[in-house]
Amino acid sequence: MTALSLFAVTGAVLIGIGFYGLIATRHFLRRVVAFNLIGSGLFLFFGATGARGGVTDPVPQALIITGIVVAFSASALGVGLVVARARLSGRAALPEEEDGA
């Protein structure tokens, strides 16, 4: 396995881990963290794709930098919403499911 494939597969696994965190955890702050894992896994996958063919392509690099900044602003707004909700309701996590499923 080449280095690029290694990083691409790592990115794919990160997306899976992040997605699991996003749908299977209950605390909102952990969900925002998981959302960031999906984002950076996607960047790694995309970055490895952009480096195929010998030379690193600057266009994906620029898009990834844009993506990192946009992901940060989305996280800042998301975290603000989590805190605002906790202030109003005293909770920052989804309640237990009643049927135990």
Q: Which of residues 20-59 bind other proteins (CB under 8 A)?
A: 20-21, 23-27, 29-30, 32-34, 36-37, 40-41, 43-45, 47-59
d(CA 20, CA 81): 21
Site for other proteins in 69-98 (CB under 8 A): 69-70, 72-77, 79-84, 86-87, 90-96
Q: How far is the CB of 99 from other proteins (least distance, A)?
A: 13
Q: How many residues bind other proteins (CB under 8 A)?
A: 79
Closest CA to 18 of 33, 32, 31, 37: 37
Q: Say which residues have a Cβ less than 8 Å from residue 71's Cβ, sequence separation at least 6.
A: 36, 39, 40
